[in-house]
Amino acid sequence: MIPEMQGVQSKDIRESFSKRAMMNNINVVTANDIEIVKDARGLSLSISYQVKIPLIGNASLLLKFNPSSFKNSR
């Protein structure tokens, strides 16, 4: 794991995301939507969300996102 991530707590990750989301006007997801898994292999962050964009009349475009990140502890 990279040195600055050693000993990081889930609450610290969520607080950091919340600050960045506020600065960038992100309101589709919140820090509580982030799934954080720490184990012997490393740190994994993931989130699932969708955005519905009205097109015309009753037609909409539904975009689904599932980004994730993994940092190996070795």
Q: What is the pLDDT of residues 4-47, one digit of tens each?
A: 566 778 899 899 899 999 999 988 899 999 999 888 878 889 99
Kind of pairing between the strands at 49-56 and 42-46:
unpaired
Region of 15 (left: φ > 0; alpha: ψ -120 to 50; beta: rest) is alpha
Taking the model in full, what pTM does it have? 0.69
Name the residue with tokens 């184990």.
39
Note whether 34 and 42 are within 8 A (CB): no
Q: Quote the CA–CA distance of 17 and 29 in Å, as a whole number.
A: 10
